[in-house]
């Protein structure tokens, strides 16, 4: 882990695409420790071996929660990126996301996939509950959104990227993001079609890796688009409840950092001020996490 000294920074973004990241506001945090990398498949495997834990995607589905669905269709699984072979409208995510039966953290793209050669890749297909369970077992916790963004910025005040002002300085790829025409044509200019081994790209100024791209990372805050207008300055922990006007009945937590699917034309939330949001009961093939720990008094 890396010790992050406490401090004050300007949180959020003035980017007009990120309406829920406004207003930019002053935040002061106590110090904490943060994992140098996202939690890997190998680390999560040790947790499962020690505890027998079953992730949300591996558990039987309750017929009461899916009235009218035939029992033979109630197969555990998860959401997987399934790129089309042609250009599609970017306002319909069902064009590139599919529910795949028996997809889970051991089989990220479905039952015929596995983790061979991906031991050092970040674990994916973890719901919020799964990430929190690992953190508790490890004697840690999930970061608040403010902690995550402060750490990601690495002392760079309101820079658009965790490394500075330019996405690819001197043509150098700084993170695992989508290159090409999303979602159907990935040039893999960064060397990867999906996740990459943690630490494949340069660390930020605090010595943290994968704070942009690769996988989205769960934070402990409930998601509300209006929270920044009412957030306290000192050690904010997020709102008391969740509200996403687009899906008011779905409980969501904040996700940060973007993923291998983010690009300038779609998402672009690999910027530290960008915010993601996720159904707490759903993982996907581009969502992972890292942990933090309080500094002992």
pLDDT on residue 279: 97
Structure tokens at 201: 């790209």
Asked whether the predicted pLDDT for residue 106 surpasses 80, the reply is: yes
The secondary structure element, H or E, covering residue 11 is strand 7-11
Asked whether the predicted pLDDT for residue 72 surpasses 80, the reply is: no
pLDDT on residue 64: 83
In the chain, the percentage of residues whose pLDDT exceeds 70 is 100
The HSE-up count of residue 90 (CA atoms within 13 Å, CB side) is 11
Asked whether the predicted pLDDT for residue 99 surpasses 90, the reply is: yes
Domains and CATH numbers, the chain: 1-39+121-297 (3.90.1580.10)
Structure confidence by residue, pLDDT tens digits, 237-248: 999 999 999 999
Structure tokens at 81: 């990126």
CA dist., res. 141 & res. 220, Å (int) = 8
Structure confidence by residue, pLDDT tens digits, 279-291: 999 999 999 999 9
Pair 152, 292: CB distance under 8 Å: no
pLDDT bin (cut points 50, 70, 90) of residue 67 is confident
pLDDT on residue 73: 74
In the chain, the percentage of residues whose pLDDT exceeds 90 is 92
Pair 138, 40: CB distance under 8 Å: no
Q: Is 50 exposed, middle or buried (0-12, 13-18, 19+ CB in 10 A)?
A: exposed
Average pLDDT rounded to a whole number, residues 125-154 = 99
CA dist., res. 164 & res. 56, Å (int) = 37
Average pLDDT rounded to a whole number, residues 69-98 = 91
First to last CA, the chain: 17
DSSP letter (8 states) at residue 193? S
Pair 128, 216: CB distance under 8 Å: no
The Cα-based distances of 32 to 23, 92, 112 in angstroms read 25, 39, 40
Q: Is 112 exposed, middle or buried (0-12, 13-18, 19+ CB in 10 A)?
A: exposed
- The average confidence (pLDDT) of the chain is 96
Average pLDDT rounded to a whole number, residues 259-270 = 93
pLDDT on residue 7: 97
Asked whether the predicted pLDDT for residue 65 surpasses 90, the reply is: no
Asked whether the predicted pLDDT for residue 195 surpasses 80, the reply is: yes
pLDDT on residue 261: 97
pLDDT on residue 66: 80
pLDDT bin (cut points 50, 70, 90) of residue 58 is very high
pLDDT on residue 220: 99
The Cα-based distances of 17 to 99, 131, 274, 275 in angstroms read 28, 29, 9, 11
Lowest mean pLDDT among 65-74, 82-91, 265-274: 65-74
């Amino acid at each position: 882990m890396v010790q992050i000294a406490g401090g004050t920074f300007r949180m959020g973004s003035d980017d007009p695409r990120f309406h829920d990241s406004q207003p930019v506001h002053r935040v002061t945090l106590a110090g904490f420790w943060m994992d140098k990398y996202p939690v890997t498949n190998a680390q999560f495997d040790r947790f499962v071996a020690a505890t027998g834990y079953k992730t949300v995607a591996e558990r039987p589905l309750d017929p009461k929660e899916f009235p009218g669905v035939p029992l033979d269709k109630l197969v555990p699984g998860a959401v997987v990126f399934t790129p089309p072979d042609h250009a599609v409208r970017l306002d319909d995510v069902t064009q590139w996301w599919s529910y795949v039966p028996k997809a889970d953290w051991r089989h990220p793209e479905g039952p015929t996939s596995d983790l061979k050669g991906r031991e050092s890749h970040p674990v994916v297909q973890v719901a919020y509950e799964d990430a929190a369970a690992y953190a508790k077992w490890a004697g840690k916790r999930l970061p608040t959104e403010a902690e995550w963004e402060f750490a990601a910025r690495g002392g760079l005040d309101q820079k658009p990227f965790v490394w500075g002002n330019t996405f690819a300085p001197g043509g150098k790829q700084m993170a695992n993001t989508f290159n090409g025409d999303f979602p159907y044509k990935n040039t893999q200019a960064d060397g990867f079609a999906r996740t990459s081994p943690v630490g494949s790209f340069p660390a930020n100024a605090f010595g943290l890796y994968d704070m942009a791209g690769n996988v989205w990372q769960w934070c402990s805050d409930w998601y509300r688009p209006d929270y920044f207008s009412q957030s306290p300055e000192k050690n904010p922990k997020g709102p008391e409840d969740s509200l996403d006007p687009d899906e008011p009945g779905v409980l969501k937590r904040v996700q940060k950092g973007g993923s291998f699917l983010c690009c300038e034309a779609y998402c672009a939330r690999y910027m530290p001020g960008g915010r993601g949001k996720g159904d707490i009961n759903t993982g996907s093939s581009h969502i992972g996490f890292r942990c933090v720990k309080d500094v002992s008094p």
